[in-house]
Structure 1
Amino acid sequence: MPSPSDCWTAFAGQRLLASGPPSEVVTAARRALDAGEPESLLLFDDATGRQVDFHLRGSLEEVLARLQPAPEPAAEASESRGPGRPKLGVVAREVTLLPRHWEWLATQPGGASVALRKLVEAARATHGDADRVRQAQAAADRFMTTMAGNAPGYEEAARALYAGDRARFNKWTRAWPDDIRDCARRLAAPAFTREAP
């Protein structure tokens, strides 16, 4: 099942095949298979660095059709759903809190849902940069583990990534195959937007 990311990357062995919207990447991968590409093809979700398990069998039209989201359930099914406001994008899920948390939430204007939404938005505003750094570190590390886990300097590069040290990261990735090095650096770039502690 495809991930929701806007950007995927495909490699044929150590060579970059394509990077961009999922439809362009799977098209390039399908065409490479049709042309008899001898190397293994790996697809990655750039947002997470995870490999995408995507079936490239069949015609190009069939492959592209697999990227389409599953159809929405019928109107009757959505009306019979539980709490939440699906038309507004509100999703009801279980939240587990201690009794003192529920007591505090009950005293907030607008009730628990409004208070929780405000808390989440405040946390996103306060910690947004740190969250982006952490996500970039995780994505780059996952990609590097798969594509460069046995490469010289991998462990040192990973340490530099988590330390926020771009110069050391670049030093230890310098000897890697060009396309792998460049992709790792691109995925890691947001991790270096703030100074190392």
Structure 2
Amino acid sequence: MTLETSSLPACADPASTLTAFAGFHRIARGSRAELVAALRARTDDTSYLVFDDRSGAQIDLDLREPPAPAGEPPRGVGRPKLGVVAREVTLLPRQWEWLGRQPGGASVALRRLIDEARRVNAGRDAARAAREATYGVMTVLAGNLPGFEEAMRALFALERDRFEQHISTWPDDLRAHLQELSGASWTHE
């Protein structure tokens, strides 16, 4: 299944999508499995780049057949079946004392604090993530295009009209993708 630009939804969920570009042309978009299938089905040998729409990071996909499943990986520290991973946190003694006095202990208190901070800052975090994703793709694909530096400044200055002006002459697929990625940047600050 090839996911050509013309079949892209107007407002795809960037949290679960990857996008492939050949030059400035968006050639495929979808989940990891959909993108791998689309790229395997390609008949030309034009090079392409793949980006994670959530982070803007360029990623490598292994288009070979998946390896045979191995045995269960060794059990790590924490509660891996629940997704809990043990990591180190460095705090001052007064902070450890406060955490120790909280109902449920330090882990419960930290989880509660983090969840509250995530809730309170969700809009700001989404706006920052959108700018960072846009930055990642722009840097790789548009770094040599006219108006790149000005567009980047406008993106981080939260000046949508100026951003749109500087990317207005860029190739259609690239411009549309950057507009989609940057969308949350303008609504939450």
Whole-angstrom CA distance in 2 between matches of 1:194 and 1:98: 33
Q: 1:117 aligns with which of 95, 103, 111?
A: 111
Q: 2:30 aligns with which of 2, 20, 34?
A: 20
1:6-56 C-alpha deviation (Å, 9 max, x unpaired): 200011122110111122222222222xx123x321111111111111233
The answer to whether structure 1 residue 88 and structure 2 residue 82 are counterparts is: yes
Alpha-carbon spacing, 1:104–1:136, altered in 2? closer, same or farther (3 Å): same
Q: 1:173 aligns with which of 167, 171, 180?
A: 167
Whole-angstrom CA distance in 2 between matches of 1:152 and 1:120: 42
Q: Which moved more, 1:85-94 or 1:147-156?
A: 85-94
Q: Residue in 1 aligned with 2:12?
A: none
Whole-angstrom CA distance in 1 between matches of 2:62 and 2:82: 33
Pairwise CA distance, 1:72: 7.2
Alpha-carbon spacing, 1:90–1:159, altered in 2? closer, same or farther (3 Å): same
Q: Residue in 2 aligned with 1:107?
A: 101
Whole-angstrom CA distance in 2 between matches of 1:86 and 1:14: 41
Q: Secondary structure at the match of 2:29?
A: strand
Q: 2:54 aligns with which of 47, 52, 62?
A: 47
Q: Secondary structure at the match of 1:189?
A: helix
Alpha-carbon spacing, 1:14–1:95, altered in 2? closer, same or farther (3 Å): same
Alpha-carbon spacing, 1:7–1:168, altered in 2? closer, same or farther (3 Å): same
Q: 2:20 aligns with which of 10, 32, 46?
A: 10
Q: Aligned letter for 1:10?
A: A
Q: Secondary structure at the match of 2:21?
A: strand
The answer to whether structure 1 residue 36 and structure 2 residue 30 are counterparts is: no
The number of residue pairs the alignment matches comes to: 175
1:143-178 C-alpha deviation (Å, 9 max, x unpaired): 000000111111111111112222111111101011
Whole-angstrom CA distance in 1 between matches of 2:121 and 2:170: 33
Contact 2:126 / 2:188 at 8 angstroms: preserved in 1? no
Q: Aligned letter for 2:61?
A: F
Q: Aligned letter for 1:145?
A: T
Q: Residue in 2 aligned with 1:133?
A: 127
Contact 2:17 / 2:31 at 8 angstroms: preserved in 1? yes
Whole-angstrom CA distance in 2 between matches of 1:141 and 1:132: 14
Any unmatched runs of 5+ in structure 2?
1-14
Contact 2:22 / 2:48 at 8 angstroms: preserved in 1? yes
Pairwise CA distance, 1:87: 3.3
Contact 1:164 / 1:194 at 8 angstroms: preserved in 2? no
Q: Residue in 1 aligned with 2:9?
A: none
Q: Secondary structure at the match of 1:18?
A: strand
State the TM-score, normalizing by the size of structure 2: 0.84
Whole-angstrom CA distance in 1 between matches of 2:57 and 2:123: 21
Alpha-carbon spacing, 1:48–1:72, altered in 2? closer, same or farther (3 Å): farther
Taking only the aligned residue pairs, the percentage that are identical comes to 48
The answer to whether structure 1 residue 73 and structure 2 residue 63 are counterparts is: no
